[in-house]
């Protein structure tokens, strides 16, 4: 019998996984950066794998490449979010709409089996053969060279608008001011593009005209009793608006990627409200910044230098004038630059937050350790918090995805409300996709609810434990799907992806995503923020105008146009 380890599995973003996302899901970079498991150095030595390892949970098993972490996190294994992780994560949302991506019990053992490439993985686990048609040549024109300034970066929720792009012959040839993720987007936007509208025929894709694709897509949607329109966080508000109108007309459900990132945050705010500020206010004034369950150096690379830890503010001028605290289940790049790192046991954030609230009110904490943190440290952190002049608590998926979910957020919000009795304190969710905040905002103002909105009764209804995209797919409740600017097949648990394969699926996306590769109708569109304009909302709610830097490839229109064509066709069919 081979040596095996029992560990707690967590998933999350990494810089390379993020780059791989832009350079193409079927690239070697994505494979190398995503089909891996990071192990604590001691755990690694104990397991001593000669080749690959097999990760087993109650929900499945998958072979990945083991990597010895440069940081210590005994008992915890980390797999970057993606198709490999999806096989083994816990699809249970416990009524929140958020599958349990973090804190899954797993065993790891050495294996001689190979790590499946993405297309083999899809064939093996989902039984669908992936045949991606040839990718077109990038467009070119002879306009010459020009420089575009102040471009908002359409990658993450930071929406840094200080990017300078140089365009030559109709293509972006270089960018200044961006991070690794930003560069991967601006310099690889022509990689893996979908050449033309396609339809699945005999297991492969056949190019069809845009009109035909729109007609077929509309027929699928009209014939569906209960379609799901999912995605929306990587495109403009303008696209989402059309999507909501279409969903209302179809009597379906519209959901955005909030379901798998900060859905619990939104639900926490339902209970308590939220105490926040814009990023500039934090940068200008905050002398204490706490990063809880988030790792901006990997997921939001310019956050620290532009808005938070090391940014130059009006009143707090540098890193030296700020205290940085990191609370996480493991050491991260971010925790390494902290003044204080507090290591919390996985899934025990709620306990620690509650203890902090008690400490703030000078209640006695009877336990020596809370969530793996000593009582003295809890008191110390509480004191650091209430003696800050202006404190900020940034929190990420470490708090929303693990045990407790929306209750964690409710407690965090209450902690910050309590802190305002002592001093000034705000908090902010580290939102991932560049317009997920906007997707929530616009869905909210149009329907009254932020995501997971059901129109089956002719008016908006909301219950994420039933109407979120994750739940609907996990439970097999929808009979058609339109996926816009998102890749649920790469980020949803296996059960949901299986369900997606059983129903007709339409994808509108600039690129070959995993979802596009298994879809029935694929309609390419221009990139919002590179090839067409629109509005996007930064993680703090500040709305920015996305810029058009280059023309889209010939024959490719924006998703707003594609969706309007579908909307009009559906209206024509149903006579609305």
Q: How far apart are CA 176 and CA 166, in angstroms?
A: 8
- Residues 37-76, one symbol each (x = binds other proteins by CB under 8 A, - = not), give ----------------------------------------
SS (H, E, C) 171-233: EEEEEECCCHHHHHHHHCCCCCECCCCEEEECCEEEECCHHHHHHHHHHHHHHCCCEEEEECC
Q: Are 506 and 521 in contact (CB under 8 A)?
A: yes
| Residue closer to other proteins, measured from CB, 379 or 462 | 462
The three-class DSSP label of residue 167 is strand
Q: Which residues pair with 391 in a beta bridge?
A: 288, 425
Show the tokens assigned to 281: 């206010």
Q: How far apart are CA 84 and CA 493, in angstroms?
A: 10
- H runs (alpha helix) in 321-453: 349-360, 375-386, 397-400, 406-419, 436-447
- Confirm or reject binding of residue 4 to other proteins (CB under 8 A): no
Choosing from 46, 206, 389, 502, the residue that interacts with other proteins (CB under 8 A) is 389
| Residue closer to other proteins, measured from CB, 265 or 335 | 265
What is the number of other CB atoms lying within 10 angstroms of the CB of residue 211? 11
- Confirm or reject binding of residue 285 to other proteins (CB under 8 A): yes
Least distance (Å) between residue 428 CB and other proteins: 10
- Confirm or reject binding of residue 287 to other proteins (CB under 8 A): no
Least distance (Å) between residue 240 CB and other proteins: 11
- Residues 118-157, one symbol each (x = binds other proteins by CB under 8 A, - = not), give -------------------------------xx-x-----
| Residue closer to other proteins, measured from CB, 174 or 278 | 278
Choosing from 359, 426, 528, 567, the residue that interacts with other proteins (CB under 8 A) is 426
Choosing from 4, 107, 281, 305, the residue that interacts with other proteins (CB under 8 A) is 281
Choosing from 212, 314, 339, 376, the residue that interacts with other proteins (CB under 8 A) is 314
| Residue closer to other proteins, measured from CB, 278 or 354 | 278
| Residue closer to other proteins, measured from CB, 203 or 575 | 575
Least distance (Å) between residue 571 CB and other proteins: 8
Least distance (Å) between residue 446 CB and other proteins: 6
Burial class (CB in 10 A: 0-12, 13-18, 19+), 366: exposed
| Residue closer to other proteins, measured from CB, 190 or 400 | 400
Only one of the segments 68-76, 119-127, 185-193, 283-291 lies at the binding site for other proteins (rule: CB under 8 A); that segment is: 283-291
Q: How far apart are CA 472 and CA 483, in angstroms?
A: 14
- Location of structure tokens 């129109």: 455
SS (H, E, C) 7-68: EEEEEECCHHHHHHHHHCCCCHHHHHHHCEEEECHHHHHHHCCCCEEEEEECCEEEEEEEEE
| Residue closer to other proteins, measured from CB, 197 or 460 | 460
DSSP 319-348: GGGSEEEEEESS--TTGGG-SEEEEPPTT-
- Confirm or reject binding of residue 576 to other proteins (CB under 8 A): yes
- Confirm or reject binding of residue 459 to other proteins (CB under 8 A): yes
Choosing from 17, 258, 408, 447, the residue that interacts with other proteins (CB under 8 A) is 447
The three-class DSSP label of residue 574 is helix
Choosing from 42, 162, 169, 561, the residue that interacts with other proteins (CB under 8 A) is 162
- Confirm or reject binding of residue 274 to other proteins (CB under 8 A): yes
Least distance (Å) between residue 389 CB and other proteins: 7
Choosing from 21, 25, 283, 300, the residue that interacts with other proteins (CB under 8 A) is 283
Q: Which residues pair with 511 in a beta bridge?
A: 193
Task: With CB under 8 A as the rule, give the number of residues binding other proteins.
Answer: 62
Only one of the segments 212-220, 282-290, 400-408, 507-515 lies at the binding site for other proteins (rule: CB under 8 A); that segment is: 282-290
What is the number of other CB atoms lying within 10 angstroms of the CB of residue 140? 11
Least distance (Å) between residue 351 CB and other proteins: 24
Q: How far apart are CA 79 and CA 88, in angstroms?
A: 10
Residue 99, C-beta contacts closer than 8 angstroms, at least 6 positions apart: 89, 90, 91, 92, 93, 260, 470, 474, 492, 493, 496
Choosing from 420, 502, 555, 572, the residue that interacts with other proteins (CB under 8 A) is 420
Choosing from 56, 128, 200, 424, the residue that interacts with other proteins (CB under 8 A) is 424
- Confirm or reject binding of residue 270 to other proteins (CB under 8 A): yes
Choosing from 192, 450, 552, 553, the residue that interacts with other proteins (CB under 8 A) is 450
- Confirm or reject binding of residue 250 to other proteins (CB under 8 A): no
- Among positions 515-574, residues that touch other proteins (CB under 8 A) are 535, 537, 541-545, 574
Show the tokens assigned to 434: 């560049």
Burial 251-263 (b: 16+ CB within 10 A, else e): ebbbbbbbbbbbb
Show the tokens assigned to 431: 């939102």
- Confirm or reject binding of residue 95 to other proteins (CB under 8 A): no
Choosing from 132, 446, 466, 573, the residue that interacts with other proteins (CB under 8 A) is 446
Give the closest residue to 307 by CA, choosing from 573, 569, 539, 99: 539
DSSP structural state of residue 363: P
Only one of the segments 306-314, 335-343, 364-372, 504-512 lies at the binding site for other proteins (rule: CB under 8 A); that segment is: 306-314
| Element (DSSP H or E) covering residue 311 | none
Backbone angles phi, psi at 36, to 5 degrees: -135, 165
Least distance (Å) between residue 458 CB and other proteins: 4
- Confirm or reject binding of residue 384 to other proteins (CB under 8 A): no
| Helix axis angle, 237-250 to 559-574, nearest 10° | 20
- Confirm or reject binding of residue 33 to other proteins (CB under 8 A): no
Choosing from 15, 89, 228, 269, the residue that interacts with other proteins (CB under 8 A) is 269
Binding site for other proteins (CB under 8 A): 149-150, 152, 161-162, 237, 241, 245, 248-249, 266, 269-281, 283-285, 306-307, 314, 389-390, 417, 420, 423-424, 426, 440-442, 444-450, 455, 457-460, 462, 535, 537, 541-545, 574, 576
């Amino acid at each position: 019998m081979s040596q095996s380890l029992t560990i707690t599995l967590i998933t999350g973003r990494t810089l390379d996984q993020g780059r791989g996302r832009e350079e193409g899901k079927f690239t070697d970079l994505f494979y190398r950066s995503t089909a891996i498991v990071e192990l604590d150095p001691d755990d690694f030595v104990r397991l001593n794998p000669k080749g690959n390892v097999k990760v087993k949970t109650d929900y499945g098993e998958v072979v990945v490449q083991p990597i010895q972490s440069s940081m210590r996190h005994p008992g915890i294994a980390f797999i970057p979010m993606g198709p490999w992780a999806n096989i083994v994560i816990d699809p249970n949302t416990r009524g929140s709409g958020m599958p349990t991506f973090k804190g899954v019990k797993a065993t790891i053992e050495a294996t001689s089996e190979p790590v499946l490439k993405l297309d083999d993985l899809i064939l093996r686990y989902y039984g669908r053969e992936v045949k991606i048609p040839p990718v077109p040549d990038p467009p070119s024109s002879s306009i010459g060279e020009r420089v575009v300034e102040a471009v908002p970066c359409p990658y993450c929720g930071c929406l840094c608008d200080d990017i300078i792009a140089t365009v030559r012959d109709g293509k972006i040839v270089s960018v200044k001011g961006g991070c690794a993720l930003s560069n991967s987007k601006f310099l690889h936007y022509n990689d893996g593009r979908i050449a033309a509208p396609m339809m699945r025929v005999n297991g492969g894709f056949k190019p069809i005209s845009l009109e035909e694709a729109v007609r077929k897509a509309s027929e699928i949607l009209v014939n569906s009793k209960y379609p799901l329109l999912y995605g929306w966080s990587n495109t403009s508000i303008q696209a989402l608006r059309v999507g909501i109108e279409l969903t209302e007309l179809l009597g379906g459900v519209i959901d955005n990627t909030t379901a798998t990132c900060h859905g619990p945050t939104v639900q926490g705010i339902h209970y308590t409200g939220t105490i926040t500020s814009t990023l500039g206010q934090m940068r200008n004034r905050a002398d204490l910044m706490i990063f809880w369950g988030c790792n901006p150096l990997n997921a939001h690379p310019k956050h620290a230098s532009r808005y938070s830890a090391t940014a130059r503010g009006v009143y707090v001028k540098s890193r030296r004038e700020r205290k940085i605290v990191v609370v996480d289940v493991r050491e991260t790049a971010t925790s390494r630059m902290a003044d204080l790192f507090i290591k919390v046991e996985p899934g025990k954030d709620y306990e620690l937050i509650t203890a902090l609230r008690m400490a703030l009110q000078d209640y006695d904490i009877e336990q020596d350790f809370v969530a793996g943190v000593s009582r003295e440290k809890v008191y110390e952190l509480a004191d650091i918090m209430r003696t800050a002049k202006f404190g900020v608590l940034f929190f990420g998926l470490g708090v929303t995805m693990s045990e407790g979910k929306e209750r964690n957020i409710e407690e965090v919000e209450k902690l910050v409300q309590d802190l305002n009795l002592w001093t000034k304190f705000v908090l902010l969710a580290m939102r991932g996709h560049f317009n997920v905040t906007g997707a929530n905002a616009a869905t909210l103002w149009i329907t009254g609810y932020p995501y997971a909105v059901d129109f089956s009764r002719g008016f908006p209804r909301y219950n994420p434990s039933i109407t979120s995209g994750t739940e609907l797919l996990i439970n097999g409740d929808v009979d058609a799907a339109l996926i816009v600017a998102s890749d649920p097949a790469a980020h949803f648990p296996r059960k949901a992806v299986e369900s997606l394969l059983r129903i007709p699926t339409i994808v509108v996306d600039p690129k070959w995503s995993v979802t596009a590769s298994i879809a029935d109708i694929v309609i390419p569109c221009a990139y919002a923020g590179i090839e067409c304009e629109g509005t996007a909302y930064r993680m703090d709610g500040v709305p920015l105008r996305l810029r058009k830097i280059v023309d889209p490839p010939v024959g490719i229109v924006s998703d707003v146009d594609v969706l309007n064509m579908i909307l009009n066709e559906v209206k024509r069919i149903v006579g609305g």
